[in-house]
Amino acid sequence: MSVDTPRRIVLLRHAKADWPEVSDHERPLAERGRKDAPVAGRRLADAGISFDLAVCSTAARTRETWKLAVQELPHRPKTVYEERVYEASPGELIAVLNELPEDTADVLLIGHNPGVQGLADVLAGSSESDAAARMARRGFPTSAIAMLTFNGSWKSLEPGAATLFDYWAPHE
């Protein structure tokens, strides 16, 4: 694939989690999260992006979100469970994306806040779009999705290199 081919990065925050007496990493989805995750999956399917790869945090709530959301997609992308996505800063998430294989055009990253919202903000820079305005207004609630595009190699992905072209949050 050419580095001139537009690439898409779709960020999905895990669905609403419960707060049982377990470690943060092992927190499961709450009932609302189990309802919202398939809705987010349908939104991803409606976007018409054929993901080459899904990169998912190893936390229970992200794995459960992905398990419910992926059932709504027309095809299941290869999935990598990446422990570095858990509690990652935007810079750490960029480092994970910088390592993606160059033949990957479209990636879905399933992670946590504040990292995923920070990543969307950092990659999009001063994007002045309707999507950016909605994200600024809504924040990045659970099950929210940000869709960005950029040109270049994964190794060249850096702050300000992408454009936010869509944003969705449940209950909008």
pTM: 0.95
Give the model's pLDDT for residue 129: 77
**Edge-to-edge, what's the strand order for the sheet holding 145-150?**
78-81, 53-56, 106-111, 7-13, 145-150, 163-168
DSSP secondary structure code for residue 14 in this structure: P
- Residues 99-132 as b/e (b if ≥16 CB within 10 A, e otherwise) read ebeeebbbbbbbbbeebbbbbbbbbbeebeeebb
Q: Just give the CATH number of 7-168.
A: 3.40.50.1240
Q: Is the pLDDT of residue 1 over 60?
A: no
Q: Binding-site residues, please? A: 61
Q: Binding-site residues for substrate, please? A: 61
Average pLDDT over residues 99-123: 96
pLDDT tens digits for range 47-91 = 999 999 999 999 999 999 999 999 999 999 999 999 999 999 999
Give the model's pLDDT for residue 136: 86
What confidence category does residue 172 fall into, taking pLDDT thresholds of 50, 70 and 90? low
Give the model's pLDDT for residue 145: 97
What confidence category does residue 132 fall into, taking pLDDT thresholds of 50, 70 and 90? confident
H helical segments located in the chain = 31-46, 60-69, 90-98, 115-124, 130-138
